[in-house]
Amino acid sequence: MKQLLVIIASLLFFACGSETNKQTAEKPAATSQPATSQPSGQLKYEKEKNFKKLTQLTYGGDNAEAYFSFDNSKLVFQASNEKWDAPCDQIFMMPLTGTDKGAKPPLLSTGKGRTTCSYFMPGDSTVLYASTHLADAECPDSPRTVDGKYVWPIYESFDIFVSDMNGKIVKQLTKNPGYDAEATLSPDGKMIVFTSMRSGDLELYTMDVDGNNVKQITTGLGYDGGAFFSPDGKKLVFRSSRPKTDEEVKSYKSFLDRGLVQPTNMEIYTCNIDGSNLKQITKLGKANWAPYYHPNGKTILFSTNHHQPSGRVFNIFSINEDGSDLKQITFDDTFDAFPMFSYDGKYLAFSSNRNNGGTRDTNVFLAEWQD
Direct distance between the N- and C-terminal alpha carbons of the chain, in angstroms, rounded to an integer: 33
What's 281's domain CATH number?
A: 2.120.10.30
- Per-residue pLDDT of 244-263, as tens digits, reads 999 999 999 999 999 999 99
The pTM (predicted TM-score) of the whole model is 0.90
The Cα 77–Cα 94 span in angstroms is 8
The Cα 91–Cα 167 span in angstroms is 9
**191-206 mean pLDDT:** 98
Q: How many CB atoms lie within 10 A of CB 104?
A: 14
**Pair 256, 154: CB distance under 8 Å:** yes
The Cα 19–Cα 119 span in angstroms is 9
Residue 101: predicted pLDDT: 80
**251-278 mean pLDDT:** 97
How many structural domains does the chain have?
A: 1
- Per-residue pLDDT of 315-343, as tens digits, reads 999 999 999 999 999 999 999 999 999 99
Residue 33 carries which DSSP code?
Answer: P
The Cα 71–Cα 122 span in angstroms is 10
**Considering only 37-41, 124-128, 152-156, 330-334, which range has the smallest mean pLDDT?**
37-41
Residue 146: predicted pLDDT: 93
Burial 85-102, CB ≥16 within 10 A → b, else e: ebebbbbbbbbbebbeee
**pLDDT tier for residue 9 given thresholds of 50, 70 and 90:** very low
Express as a percent the part of the chain with pLDDT over 90.
85
**228-233 mean pLDDT:** 98
Mean pLDDT (the chain) is 90
- From the list 66, 101, 57, 106, the residue with the least C-alpha distance to 86 is 106
Residue 16: predicted pLDDT: 61
Domain that holds residue 18: 2-369
Residue 41: predicted pLDDT: 61
The Cα 110–Cα 112 span in angstroms is 5
| Chain centre distance of CA 127 | 15
